[in-house]
Chain A
Amino acid sequence: MLSVHGLRAGYNGTSVLNGVDFDLSGGEIVSLVGRNGSGRSTMMQALLRIVKPTAGEVTLNGCSVANLETYQIVRAGLSYVPEERLVFHNLTVRENMTLGIQRRPNAVATWHPDEFWSIFPNLATRRDVAAGALSGGEQQMLTMCRSLLGNPDAILIDEPTEGLAPKIVEAVVGLILEMKRRGIGVVLVEQKLTVALEISDRVTVMGHGTIVFEGSPQELCARDDVRRKWLEV
C-alpha cells in the first residue's frame, strides 16, 4: 500500500534522513521507534512532502507521489496526525471535524462523524465548544478523528499518547486497533515502548536517519544489543 525507497531529506542543508526503505500493507500497525533526533518525525513529514525530500521514491497504492503537493497526497489516501495536536483553537469541535471530511470513493474504510460522537461522548457533549477549551486528551482524540474523516488508506500518527493519562491512552490504543480492524495501514511513532510492542505487528528502529532494525515485537525483545545501542538512554 505504502512503499518507500531510498528516502532522503533534511533542513537547510543538514541531512536528517539518509536513505530509508520502508513498506506498509493494509491492516498493519508498524511502530517507528528510536531516540529523539533519529529522524522519525522528519520521515513522516517527508512522506507527505511537508519537508521536501531530496531523493528517494514514495509510492502510495502503486502511484508515485513525487510530483504531488501535500494536499494531493492526503487526498490520495495518506493521512497525518502531527505530534503537537494541532486543533484549530478558534473553531468549534464540530467545525474541526468538518474540516477533516474528504470524499474518497475507493477508500479502504469510511468513517462518519456520528460514529465518533458515540465512541467519544466527551467530544459529543462539547461539539459546539471552541476546540481550544478541550483537555489535552480530548484534543488528541479530536485530531485523530479529524484525520480519519479523510477516509485514508494509510495513516501516520506521531506520538499519540504523549502526556496523556493511562485511561486516555487506552482509548487511543482502542481507536488505533479499530483502524487496523477496518484494514487501514498505521504507522506509529511511539515513545512508550510498552504500548508500541503491545499493539504493533512490526517494529522498526531508526537511528542516524536510517532503519537499523526491523522485525516483530518478539524479535526486538530478544535483541538486547539493538535495544541497548539504539533505544536506551
Chain B
Amino acid sequence: MEMLSISLLNGTIYGLLLFMIAAGLTLIFGMMGVLNFAHGAFYMLGAYAGYVLSARVGFFPGLLVAGLIVAAIGAMVERYMLRSVHAHGHAHELLLTFGLLFVFDEIVKFFFGYYPVSYRVPETLSFSVFRIGSLEYPAYRLFVGLVSIGFFGALVLILRFTRIGLVVRAAVHKPMMVEALGHNVPLVMLLVFAVGAGMAGLAGAVAGAFYPTSPAMASEIGTIVFVVVVVGGLGSLGGAFIASLMIGILTTLMVGVDTTLADTLSFVGFGSWGKDIGGIFAVPLSASAGTLPFALMLMVLLLRPAGLMGERT
C-alpha cells in the first residue's frame, strides 16, 4: 500500500515532467506539421547547461539561464535551419531534425564524454519532506512536480486568456488562415518553437539533477515524449497532458510489478506451458516497463491515429 501510493506520486510527477517536454513538441507539430526529432536533444542540452551553470551562478539561477539558453538555441534552429528547408517539404524537415538530434548528441559527447556527469540536487533541497509508512519522500521530487505544475498553469493561462495564446490555438490547426487574418504567423512559430525548446531545456535542467545526465537521455526521453504526443493526439495540448500522466503513472507502476506473462497465463491454466516457452513469457512485467509505451503508441496509431484528443484529419 505504501509502495503503491509512493509509486502513484512518483508516476504523477514523472508524468508532469513528461508534459513539460511534450507541450512544446505537440504545439510545434500542430503549427508546422513537423514532428521534431531533435526535441529530446533540447531536454538533454538543458540538463548539461544546468550542470555547467549551477556550478557557476548557483543552482536556481542556473536552471533559469539553462532554459533561456536552450530557448535561444531552439529559436536559431527554427529561424536559420527549419525555415530554409521548409520549401523542400515535410520529409526534409523531419530529416533535418533527425540529423540535428544526431549532431547535438555528438556535441554533448564532445564536451562531456560518454558517461553520466555528476549533476547533483542542491543541499537546500536534499532532505525528505514526509514519510509514507517507512518510506521517506525526497523534497527534490516534489520540486520537480511543482515546477512542472507551474509551467502547466502558466501555459494554460497564456493560451486561454491572451491574444497571442488565441493566435497559437488557432494556428495549431490552420496556420495559413491565421496568417490570412493578418497575424504574423512566422514570428509566432518562432516563439512557440523557442518556448517549447526552452521548456524542454528547463525540464532537463531540473530533472538532470535527479535522474542521470548522460548523452543517452536525449533519445530515451525523446522517444517517450513521441509516444506521449502521439497517444495524446498530435497537436493537442490537453491530450498530451492526459497521455503524459497516463504513461508516467503506468511505467512507474509497472516497475513495481513482479508478475510474469506466464503467471497471468496460469489463471487460465496455461501457466506451465508459458514457463516452458520461457523468453518473454518468463520476464517479469517490471522488466517490460520500457516496452509498454511503444506497444501503447502502436495500438493508438493503428486504432485511433488521431490520438485521445486529436482532431481527425
State A107–B62 Cα separation when bound (angstroms). Answer: 49
A90 touches B182 (CB 8 A): no
Complex Cα spacing A51 to B192, Å: 24
Partner of A98, one of B166, B173, B178: B166
- B:142-195 near A, CB below 8 Å: 163, 166-167, 169-170, 173-174, 176-186
Min CB distance, B178 to chain A, in Å?
7
- A50 to B185, alpha carbons, bound, how many Å? 13
Q: Check if B170 sits within 8 Å of A74, measured CB to CB.
A: no
| Size band of the interface chain A makes with B | 20 to 34
Check: B311 CB closer than 8 A to any chain A CB. yes
Instruction: Report whether A71 and B177 are in contact in the complex, using a CB–CB cutoff of 8 Å.
Output: no
Q: Is the CB of A90 within 8 A of B311?
A: yes
Total A-B pairs, Cβ < 8 A: 59
Q: Which A84-132 residues have C-beta < 8 A from chain B?
A: 86, 88-91, 95, 98-100, 102
Instruction: Known contacts A89-B311, A98-B166, A99-B170; decide if A74 and B181 are in contact (CB<8 Å).
Output: yes
Q: Given A89, A90, A95, A99, which contacts B183 in the complex, CB threshold below 8 Å?
A: A99
Residues in B neighbouring A34, C-beta threshold 8 A: none
Contacts of A80 in B (CB 8 A): 180
Residue from the list B163, B173, B186 in contact with A69, Cβ < 8 A: B186
Q: CB distance A48 to B178 under 8 Å?
A: no
Task: Give, as a whole number of angstroms, the nearest-CB distance from B183 to chain A.
Answer: 6
Shortest Cβ distance from residue A77 to the other chain B in the assembled complex, whole angstroms: 10
Interface residues of A in 44-69 (CB under 8 A from B): 48, 50, 69
Using Cβ atoms and an 8 Å threshold, which residues of chain B touch A19? none
Find chain A residues with CB under 8 A from B180 CB: 48, 50, 70-71, 74, 79-80, 82
Query: Is A147 at the interface (CB under 8 A from chain B)?
Result: yes
A179 to B173, CA, bound (A): 29
> Does the CB pair A91–B176 fall under 8 Å?
no
CB-CB contacts below 8 Å: A112-169 with B = 146-147, 150
From B163, B166, B173, B181, name the one whose CB has the most chain A CB atoms within 10 angstroms. Answer: B181
For A74, A90, A102, A150, the residue with the greatest tally of chain B CB atoms inside 10 Å of its CB is: A90
Q: How far is the CA of A82 from the CA of B166 in the complex (A)?
A: 20
Given contacts A50-B176, A89-B173, contact A150 B166 (CB under 8 A): no
Q: Which of A50, A80, A86 has the most CB of B within 10 A?
A: A86
Query: Whole-angstrom distance from the CB of B287 to the nearest CB of chain A?
Result: 41
Chain A residues contacting B186 (CB-CB under 8 Å) are 69
Partner of A146, one of B179, B181, B185: B181
Assess whether B181 is in contact with A91, with CB atoms less than 8 Å apart.
no
Known: A89-B311, A98-B166. A71 touches B173 (CB 8 A): no
Whether A208 sits at the interface, judged by CB under 8 Å, is no
Chain B residues closer than 8 Å to A79, beta-carbon distance: 180-182
Complex-state Cα separation, A147 to B178, whole angstroms = 11
Q: For A69, what are the chain B residues with a Cβ–Cβ distance below 8 Å?
A: 179, 184, 186
State A105–B43 Cα separation when bound (angstroms): 45
6 pairs, A vs B, C-beta closer than 8 Å: A70-B180, A74-B181, A88-B174, A98-B166, A99-B181, A99-B183
| 9 A-B pairs with least C-beta separation | A74-B182, A86-B177, A88-B170, A102-B182, A75-B182, A70-B179, A71-B179, A80-B180, A71-B184
Further pairs besides A88-B169, A95-B166, A98-B166: 9, Cβ < 8 Å: A50-B176, A71-B180, A75-B182, A79-B182, A86-B174, A86-B177, A88-B174, A89-B311, A99-B166
